[in-house]
Structure 1
Amino acid sequence: MPLNFKKDIMPHALGILIFYLFVLFYFSPIVFDGKIMFQYDILQWEGAAKELLDYRKATGEEGLWSNRMFGGMPAYLVSLEIPGDITNTLIKVITLGLPHPINSLFFGMVSMYILLLGYKVRPEFSIAGAIAFAFNTFHLISLEAGHNAKIWAICLIPLILAGIHLTFQGKRLLGLALFALGLMLQLKFNHLQITYYTVLIVLIYGLGELVWAIREKAVPHFAKAIGILIIGAILAVGANLTRFMTVLEYGKYSTRGASNIGQAAEGQGGLDKDYAFNWSQGKLETLTLLVPYIYGGASTEPLPENSQTEQALRANGVDNAQLNGFIKQAPTYWGEQPGTGGPIYGGAVMLFLLVLGIVFAPKKDVYIFVSIAFLSILLAWGKNLAWFNYALFDFLPGYNKFRAVTMAFSMTLFAVPVLGSLGLEHAFRNSKDPKLLQKLGIAFLSTGGLALVIWILAGMFGFRGSVDANLPDWLVEPLQNDRKAILRSSALRSLIFIGLAAGLVFAAFKEKVSAQLAGIGIALLIGLDLWIINKRYVNEESLQFNPSEQYFAATPADKAIQKDTGHFRVLNLDDPFNKARTSYYFNSVGGYHGAKMKRYQELVENALGQEIQNFIQKAQAGDFAWNEIPILNMLNTKYIVAGSAENAVFQNPANFGAAWFPTAIKTVTSNDEEMEAIKTLPSSDVAVVNSSEFGAPKTGSGQVLSVKAENPSQLTYEVQADQAGMLVFSEIFYPVGWKASVDGQETAIMRANYLLRAIEIPQGKHTIQLSFEPDSFYKTKLWTVLFQYLVVLVLIGGLVLYFKPSKS
């Protein structure tokens, strides 16, 4: 049967056009003016990746090791492109050329639209659900912070589930194609925490389908679908084999891996609980899904004109400059988190539709998506539901590798639009239901009524924030009254939007307007609601023409260090382990990365951090105790920077250099002893070696004649060894992939001083080369590209067969 343009093509073309225009106009300065979103995390990434990006641009090859951060680390999670990778081109095609990262929101809407069509939701209702999913505040705030990979990974969840759902519905080839495509792209963005949540969503969906299959005696059908999806998973993993293998390899040695020292070294590894659950959602804070400003919004929000806080500041004689600064960034947030970029708001209209879904949608779908949302909320509560989440942290495989558990709300923000759209669809399918208006009333009263109750009972909340202790008493009460006013205004706003949506549905039930017009109206309400809220966080002020140009503009301090063309590292005392600006120009002792090497993090926590603090205290008193910073010295820290001026650069005369021959070796038998020993190294004459792992190497003597960095993954040394023995390098030891050769003959690499490389060399003049050649990259890159082409071929085949006109 040939396709009907008006019925089969035009509604979907209009839907995609709406999504495209929505993104186009919201981010028009990016699309039309060439502006860029000011994303702090992306600026830090740019600093960290500069060496790798420059090398790729100059040579077309990949640098697999980054020298610019934390003394050196694998580049797998910094910047890695696989030769022949077609996924970037594929993304440009399917997002119709929209720029990164806003193209993720467009494709998020398309993905959700496809999923809802798979559930047989009519296009106008699917459009409403798609907008609600992609443009929730969590996504926009995350993009503004620079969490681009996270948002892309989330926006691919609907496509993954669409493939799974279509497979279970009997459309196996198309389901296989969409599932493989969605999972391939999600794995490409390498956000394992979101992939973990995706697995939980799929497991809940699969459990629901299994229960249904057992009841309907359709287990063989279920088994066939699972077999098809296993093939899809193999294709998706194969298309990311290089990324998968490199990350799997590195995970054991990163901060996500097991500890090397103390009692924790005997445990299962993973993050510290306090660190992992630091950002945990308060239980009542979950109501921001319905009333966005119930807890004041972001950590700081502008207050309205003539607020009580402004009046109090004027009454107490605060000058206009300070007053305006405080009003523009008032500490309105009073929730339990250390801070927040804004509320997690799912849209009041969509929460209303969610209840419609619970009362109208098929029970199987209700159980599945309510379970997803419920589990998500429990996970996001984190330490505020410690008995549950600490147990999962200890026993659920892999869960202890992740932090910022509020991210689990991505599951709720996915499930709510699906069930809400299903509710709208099935409400209109059941228009003859005698209890139709009663069920509509339940949905309105349970959401609009809750918003009204919050508005009425606002005075019962405490409105006390953690920052209040730092404010004068005369300012605290007016600020708390303003927080109360913000809550009431927000609750009333949600009530109005819910009332308008309920009115549209009621009018359609009474046949005063068509279902199609009601659906379009609801989509407009959802879009308007989210547009207004999001513009508080991502607006003209968030966009600049070239934020990196200003951020990385060379300072007098940078220019002074750039005169030195040698091989060395720099320590910037300005929050060194949470910023990567220094890495833009120099090999840095610090940096910015969520998964640095475990040994380096242990070094910072147990020795280096305190060493830096002691040095600063003495330096402030005029005593530059260069010989009392042995760890910085062994890391070849030649310059310490205490500001942006040229005179803020201090050259370290005691650093050990790029490599050296120790004249004495202190052997220890544990990592703990090794850590303690390096705290008091007198000079480069003494090295520490764990004899239980590397034996007792011999000492030698000589000098390093020259050092040449061939590329990020290769170093060459010219060395004169007067006596055969051990040579220690100021380079970070990584046990997989590094190869050392002396005059072309490969030799074993040892670990010295807890985390440095060392080798034994014979007497005489030698050329030493250290090269990073991990099998996890070189032996998988061809297979990765081949699997990507297979996924594309399956996608083309699936689409052709699905849209091929039927003879019947």
Structure 2
Amino acid sequence: MTIDFKKDILPHAVGIALFYAIVAIYFSPVVFENQVIFQGDILKWEGSAKETMDFREATGEEALWTNSMFGGMPAYFISMDFPGDITNALVSILSLGLPHPVNGLFFGMVGMYILLLSFRVRPIFAILGSVAFAFNTYNLLSLAAGHNAKIWAECLIPLIILGIHLAFEKKRILGASILALGLLLQFKFNHVQITYYTFLMAGIYVLVRVIFEWKKEGLVPMAKTVGILAIGAILAIGGNIGRLATALEYSTYSTRGEITIETKEAGLDKEYAFGWSNGIMESFTFLIPDFYGGGSNTPLPKNSASEKVLRQQGLDPAQINGFVQGAPTYWGDQPFTGGPIYGGVILVFLAVLGIWAAPKQTLVIFGAIIVFSLMLSWGKNLSWFNYVLFDYLPGYNKFRAVSMALGMTLFAIPVLGMVSLEKLVKEKKLKSLYMAGAVTGGLILLFVLGAGMFRFEGAADQGLPDWLLGALREDRKAMLQSSALKSLGFLAAAFALSYFTVKGKVSDLILGAGLFILVLFDLWTINRPYLNSDSFEKSPTNTYFAETPAETEILKDESYFRVLDLTEGIQSAGKASYRFHAIGGYHGAKLRRFQDLIDYRLSSELNNFVTKAQEGDFDFSGIQTFNMLNTKYIIAGKAANSVFENPEANGPAWIPSSVRSVDSNLEEITVLGEINTKTEATINTDEFGQVATGVGTIELTSYAPNHLSYTANMSQGGLAIFSEIYYPVGWTATIDGQESEILRTDYLLRGLTIPAGQHEIEFHFAPSSYTKTKTPMIIFQYLIILGLIGGVYFTIKEENGRA
């Protein structure tokens, strides 16, 4: 096989260099100045992960459990490493050393580039499609928010589909190996929802290929291809068996899992799951980015209608500027949004071109993905469809924020668009170009001329005076029309370039380069307001977690306790977890029993406490559930005098004087609101039988997140309660070295029956889902690398044989 440098190497080298340069330039503070993106979600994650990371650094071991939020929970989805895991090294090598998380965008471009080449798209068009895929606003907004795992999971989709495509193109070993590598890395980033969507897309691809080709190819070759792909998927699962086993184990007990309160349903609540449902009309932001006003807080242009009316009302310049710089311009169906979902009007135009220009099989595959993903993203706005899937599609009720399905749309549009562009240039079908231009341009023109048909009313309008609402709606209308005109301009330029290419007036290279410049400029200018130089900082962690006088005051206490930070609340805290064991936290899949406690006990207790405290009555005896969670300090502000010590906190462990028997979870959580948790306990006798009360004392002697030691002195044997969260898998308890059953008491605390006398008690967390899977996992990872090497070898050998 002869290699032509100009044809076989140079275009690809240019493409890779362009991808690297685009990422390096756009994110130059990250790449060259050692700065990071200020990501709110990542900072909250840092707070939740601090205890486990500190433990790892100090001991070289994995804690696997953290008490830094929600009273305690497994650390599987927070911070967990596996000794010998090669995936981090693979990510670094494949992304050419670019820093995390922007390296994901580079890898996404490379993966999409190779995928498009496999569809016989020429390099210049493949470069264009790759940049459009990675730099859509959805990815940039996700980066700004801190959804790094989601970005990487989405940017691995092209590699995964590439593997499947190559297998169906008779490169079965190479295809299965690439599929295994892509899934290995996607599982590594642990974004289950994106992986779920990836399997849906893979299913669509395989189903369509089988339907189109089984008569021509026969069932045996089809089955062979699907079988070897299944082997690749199994290898990827094996290479992540530790992550998957711990996740599967935990999901049963999380808010995504089985019911606890008998009146509730398994999985997520529909209202919660479909809270972020994309509006059906909101999908037109793919064509017109500011169709629905951009983000929830978007700067208005100078001399906007809102600015003028604010001046007329006599507001001072600071107030006017404050409103204008963060105006509530978004009027869509979602609670709020960081910005529009926009992948480029030119890419949409080229995807529409596919209706007439793309090969039928490609059109059906990627057209089906586009339509299906849009329908999923509409959520409750297409309830007849999505509620059925939620109820019956296996595993689908574990996920929320269904607008995330738009990541599938933004993958399929560039693929269909570039394949269509390739066919247009080869076959010179002007009619296809005319039809696509008419449909796309006609829609945009309709919205320019008919913008007055919309009411421009949104949820953010509540509380605004009528005189301001009228002006704000005028600004929203102006944003739509202005944005539509810009899209029309880009579309016209792309249409003209394509037209003159088909007519032979412009070369294919000029067409590709011209469209590349247009798309890059379009996406760059749309993205820049949402992620720009103001988004980068040298060390946001130091600023965000700067120690306050209130925290300094609490740190004087070296005993074992939890804190409640009222400035953040129970379900949005992140700062308190950085230094303390917190009642609150930030996590999408907390333990279901703790969520029950929030819903049935903690929220109402806290509201009552705050109401009384505002009147000067600090009723610590009225927060019995907080007391049993050993909530010793309540933070109400940053100042040292904003810390309130709770004298009623139950401490690390205690011996109750009576036990209330219950026979259901609902009864137990109700009874918690009726008892003094220090003197009385609850036990579900249907699960754990009758338990005797005891007399004695118990003290915590040493603490680590995965190993706690106590000394008990019991004059009468009986139940002891530990202010630690009950989790039925992985925790073992020993009394003087002999294993003892851990009881669940007070709905979600641990209990032990301790005999009379003096005893040493230990709790240790070592789940088999981690300990028994970490070695096989590494073996599978190396098998994938060997398979990839073998796939490349046999493919080259086969190509040489054909030469």
- TM-score bracket, normalised by the shorter chain, equals over 0.9
Report the Cα offset of residue 699 of structure 1: 1.0
Distance 2:386 2:394 in 1: 13
Report the Cα offset of residue 10 of structure 1: 1.3
* Candidates 501, 516, 532, aligned match of 2:509: 516
Q: Which amino acid aligns with 2:578?
A: Y
Q: Which amino acid aligns with 1:175?
A: G
Q: Does the 8 Å contact 2:278/2:334 carry over to 1?
A: yes
2:456 alignment partner, SS class: coil
1:470 alignment partner, SS class: coil
Distance 1:788 1:259 in 2: 35
Distance 2:21 2:526 in 1: 19
Give every structure 1 segment of 4 or more consecutive aligned residues whose post-TM-superposition deviation is greater than 6 Å: none
Q: Which amino acid aligns with 1:177?
A: S
Aligned pairs for 1:346-357 within 5 A: 346-357=343-354
Distance 2:575 2:674 in 1: 30
Distance 2:746 2:699 in 1: 23
Gaps of 5+ in 1: none
CA deviation string 1:520-569 (max 9, x = no partner): 21111111110110001000111111111101000001001111111110
CA deviation string 1:405-430 (max 9, x = no partner): 10011111111000000001111221
Q: Does the 8 Å contact 1:358/1:419 carry over to 2?
A: no
Report the Cα offset of residue 4 of structure 1: 2.0
* Candidates 525, 532, 555, aligned match of 2:525: 532
Counterpart in the other structure of 1:688: 682
2:25 alignment partner, SS class: helix
Q: Does the 8 Å contact 1:44/1:580 carry over to 2?
A: yes
* Candidates 576, 579, 591, aligned match of 1:597: 591
Aligned pairs for 1:544-559 within 5 A: 544-559=537-552
Q: Does the 8 Å contact 2:695/2:717 carry over to 1?
A: yes
Report the Cα offset of residue 743 of structure 1: 1.4
Aligned pairs for 1:753-772 within 5 A: 753-772=746-765
Query: Which stretch shows the higher mean deviation, 235-244 or 668-677?
Result: 668-677
Aligned pairs for 1:176-195 within 5 A: 176-195=176-195
* Candidates 701, 718, 727, aligned match of 1:725: 718
Q: Are 2:324 and 1:327 aligned?
A: yes
Counterpart in the other structure of 2:767: 774
Counterpart in the other structure of 2:360: 363
1:759 alignment partner, SS class: strand
Counterpart in the other structure of 1:343: 340
2:331 alignment partner, SS class: coil
Report the Cα offset of residue 669 of structure 1: 1.0
Distance 2:263 2:679 in 1: 31
CA deviation string 1:260-297 (max 9, x = no partner): 11322xx4x11000001111111111100000101100
Aligned pairs for 1:139-288 within 5 A: 139-264=139-264, 267=265, 269-288=266-285
Report the Cα offset of residue 214 of structure 1: 2.6
Distance 1:350 1:467 in 2: 31
Report the Cα offset of residue 120 of structure 1: 0.9
2:800 alignment partner, SS class: coil
Report the Cα offset of residue 218 of structure 1: 2.6
Report the Cα offset of residue 217 of structure 1: 4.3
Distance 2:652 2:777 in 1: 37
CA deviation string 1:174-210 (max 9, x = no partner): 1112110001111111111111111110111111111
Q: Does the 8 Å contact 1:640/1:652 carry over to 2?
A: yes
Q: Does the 8 Å contact 1:69/1:590 carry over to 2?
A: yes
Q: Which amino acid aligns with 1:649?
A: V
Distance 2:420 2:720 in 1: 70
Query: Which stretch shows the higher mean deviation, 461-470 or 39-48?
Result: 461-470
Counterpart in the other structure of 2:604: 610
Counterpart in the other structure of 1:786: 779
Q: Which amino acid aligns with 1:349?
A: I
Question: Closer, same or farther in 2 for the Cα pair 1:662/1:558, shift >3 Å?
Answer: same
Report the Cα offset of residue 683 of structure 1: 4.3
Distance 1:582 1:283 in 2: 40
2:563 alignment partner, SS class: strand
Q: Which amino acid aligns with 2:446?
A: V
Q: Are 2:475 and 1:497 aligned?
A: no
2:461 alignment partner, SS class: helix
Between the two proteins, the alignment pairs up a number of residues equal to: 800
2:714 alignment partner, SS class: strand
Q: Does the 8 Å contact 2:714/2:758 carry over to 1?
A: yes
2:702 alignment partner, SS class: strand
Q: Are 2:746 and 1:750 aligned?
A: no
Q: Does the 8 Å contact 1:567/1:707 carry over to 2?
A: no
* Candidates 373, 386, 397, aligned match of 2:383: 386
Q: Does the 8 Å contact 1:39/1:144 carry over to 2?
A: yes
Counterpart in the other structure of 2:98: 98
Q: Does the 8 Å contact 1:700/1:723 carry over to 2?
A: yes
Q: Which amino acid aligns with 2:286?
A: L
Q: Which amino acid aligns with 2:419?
A: L
Distance 1:705 1:189 in 2: 40
Q: Are 2:673 and 1:679 aligned?
A: yes
Distance 1:326 1:518 in 2: 43
Q: Are 2:406 and 1:412 aligned?
A: no
Distance 2:702 2:263 in 1: 41
Q: TM-score by structure 2 length?
A: 0.98
Gaps of 5+ in 2: none
Q: Which amino acid aligns with 1:802?
A: T
Q: Which amino acid aligns with 2:262?
A: G
Distance 2:310 2:749 in 1: 56
Q: Percent identity?
A: 53
Report the Cα offset of residue 351 of structure 1: 0.7
2:462 alignment partner, SS class: helix
Distance 1:6 1:793 in 2: 31
Report the Cα offset of residue 310 of structure 1: 0.7
Distance 2:102 2:253 in 1: 33
Q: Does the 8 Å contact 1:71/1:569 carry over to 2?
A: yes
Counterpart in the other structure of 1:398: 395
Q: Does the 8 Å contact 2:346/2:490 carry over to 1?
A: yes
* Candidates 304, 315, 321, aligned match of 2:312: 315
* Candidates 628, 633, 650, aligned match of 2:644: 650
Q: Which amino acid aligns with 1:409?
A: L
Q: Are 2:476 and 1:476 aligned?
A: no
Distance 1:3 1:743 in 2: 72
Q: Which amino acid aligns with 1:713?
A: N
Q: Does the 8 Å contact 1:366/1:419 carry over to 2?
A: yes
Distance 1:626 1:465 in 2: 42
Q: Which amino acid aligns with 2:562?
A: R
Aligned pairs for 1:39-50 within 5 A: 39-50=39-50
Report the Cα offset of residue 796 of structure 1: 2.1
Report the Cα offset of residue 438 of structure 1: 1.8
Q: Does the 8 Å contact 1:570/1:638 carry over to 2?
A: yes
Counterpart in the other structure of 2:446: 453
Q: Does the 8 Å contact 1:705/1:717 carry over to 2?
A: yes
Q: Does the 8 Å contact 2:19/2:131 carry over to 1?
A: yes
1:798 alignment partner, SS class: helix
Report the Cα offset of residue 704 of structure 1: 2.0
Distance 2:126 2:222 in 1: 27
Counterpart in the other structure of 1:569: 562
Counterpart in the other structure of 2:790: 797
Distance 1:668 1:360 in 2: 68
Distance 1:192 1:403 in 2: 11
CA deviation string 1:323-353 (max 9, x = no partner): 0010000111111111111111010000111
Counterpart in the other structure of 2:10: 10
Counterpart in the other structure of 1:662: 656
Report the Cα offset of residue 61 of structure 1: 1.2
Q: Does the 8 Å contact 1:48/1:68 carry over to 2?
A: yes
Report the Cα offset of residue 437 of structure 1: 1.6
Distance 1:673 1:459 in 2: 56
Q: Which amino acid aligns with 2:236?
A: A
Q: TM-score by structure 1 length?
A: 0.98
Report the Cα offset of residue 355 of structure 1: 1.6
